[in-house]
Structure 1
């Protein structure tokens, strides 16, 4: 199992290193977590990407300076902020998604349909188990 973890880590690291934008792996995790969402508080996103709030806040500040995300104060409670992607942030996430899809297409190019479906289904089951804490 550790072999799979290390292989995936190397694969993801290589994709990030090839990405032309100045975005770190933790920052990209935040951007991906915000993709298609505008209802997430800073606390929820920090939990989702498994970062302590201090580290998370620094990453959010950096992403704001780059113009990729924006903080919007909650109308009900001004202590809370919602995070959302800016137009530029959406562009960056779109480019990263295209890069990942391209790399996965290359990775799976030698596999037949059955092998690809088996891997896809296994990943979905494993992801569901991990998310549910089982």
Structure 2
């Protein structure tokens, strides 16, 4: 069972994307220049742990959200922004969404995100909100 909230109860075991411990990310360390922007980004592992907390709380939808977030943690920001724009209604063709799902799967090893994009493409097609 996880010690929720993790940030309060497991600060010494929580690490950022760069491996810096949460307990080492303090205002004093920021002022000293010892904490960079990359140091405060969450790691895929921590997102998976948050998903485990959701699972233990019997919240499968939240668990799935954290699983997808853990996959996106290593996807460049510009790719994610492009993905969000393409997923807006009437912004993409079905082919563009399928290609985006393929990129998520093959280039970024994000199968749950790819599945979500493919599901969106099918729903958008049924609703007539593709280009």
**TM-score, with length taken from structure 2:** 0.26
Which one has the largest radius of gyration? 2
> Which structure has more strand as a fraction of its residues?
1
TM-score w.r.t. length of structure 1: 0.26
For CA contacts below 8 A with separation 6 or more, give which structure has more relative contact order: 1
